[in-house]
Amino acid sequence: MEWLGRARIGLTHAPTPLPLKRKDGEKTDLRNVCEKVIPPCQLNPLLFNGHMQTFWTATKQHGPPLYYKRKIFDADNDDFHGTFAVDFATDPFEETNDSLPPRTVYFNEKELENLGSDDTRPQLVVLHGLSGGSHEIYLRHAIAPLVADRAWDVCVVNSRGCAKSAFTSGVLYNARATWDIRQVVKWLHEKFPNRPLFGLGFSLGANMLTNYCGEEGADCLLKAAVVCSTPFNLEAACKSLKRSFLGNEVYQKVMGTSMKELILGHKNTLSKYTQLNFNNIENCTYLYEFDREVQCPTWGYPTEDAYYRDASSCDALVAIRIPFLALTSEDDPIVPQETIPYDEFKQNPYTILCTTSLGGHLCWFELGGGRWHSKSVPNFLNYMAFEVDLDSFNPKDDFVPGLWKETRFDPVKRKMHTVRTTQ
């Protein structure tokens, strides 16, 4: 236990972090930026460990009110056909729509026609956690400071079926579902060509964002990204949770129930598009049982462990080529410390890991109801958007000091390439 809630902060990074230049010409690097913008972590001393911090989430605080207008996207990839919902943070309004989460309505036709501009305001793309959505409190805490003075535009990509969106095909979402965010980022780049784009992910969404950044590599359209409480190694995290009573009977059960309710809430629709066994799904208790009954048959994985290995983002870290900050707590009961890929962060100068000794999973509750990550995330994004010369580094530059060089190992496919020779 830390003294009176004062958590230790650690930074893990490559020996030579990514060199950067401020807009005033001063030279710096990714580590110095993080040291400058990450505040001390003084948490509520009554929530003295990861379980207490995480359990406190169940008190359902109101959180900062945010208002959204929703656009429905048709997937542009036939392999992942269907629709998904994206919520754009907007000014307060008095409209209501009982079929959507609180303070959320659809764009009208005129508003949809006028989407897009030539302004240079930074744009943030956000991915939520497991079975969540744009309404989640941890998410609103992080982005409220960014939209408060209209300095940023923010949109949240809701995973299919989440946040009261509809399934319109048999293509669901999983921990490696990067296709929808890829489409949204491309769309934003076309509609707002002068805006620098940034990414923010939470928990499962953080894993998806990490995979996306690794898959895109030097071609990534985002200028920088932040992820919070990322389950980098899903297989190891699952096995760790199974070993303890709280892990299995609380966390695995709560997550499994939330996903089960999500799918069963769309049972009539999904019955038209899938061959899922809903009787088996109804009998699921734990998350790994749900993944066995839903993710495995949907995506062709032979076991849930095969799914976890394929979807894990730890290897994708070494392929990232944008400034990338990961925030995680060492006492996170859902993402145990043993699953944090410290060595991978040491291999890539574009990435930096910030660990806190307290904080739980997506919590970091302070006295008075604030959250530490609601300062750290905006601080980093504001500094990158307004203080750093975003053209001072080139992701396609092979001469970045300490840059990890691809050889036979593809960090995205997580396989070693063998060269066949013919006789």
Q: Which residues are catalytic?
A: 203, 332, 361
Tokens standing for 28? 């710096």
Q: Which residues contact 412 (CB under 8 A, 6 or more apart)?
A: 211, 214, 215, 217, 315, 316, 319
Amino acid 268 reads: N
The CA distance from 377 to 370, in Å, is 13
The most distant pair of C-alpha atoms in the chain lies apart, rounded to whole Å, by 74
The CA distance from 144 to 89, in Å, is 9
Q: Which residues contact 38 (CB under 8 A, 6 or more apart)?
A: 9, 354, 376, 379, 380
8 Å CB contact between 226 and 381: yes
Q: Burial, 269: exposed, middle or buried (Cβ in 10 Å; 0-12, 13-18, 19+)?
A: middle
With CA atoms as reference, report the closest residue to 86 among 77, 99, 74, 78: 74
Tokens standing for 216? 């895109």
With CA atoms as reference, report the closest residue to 181 among 168, 193, 198, 195: 198
The CA distance from 33 to 380, in Å, is 8
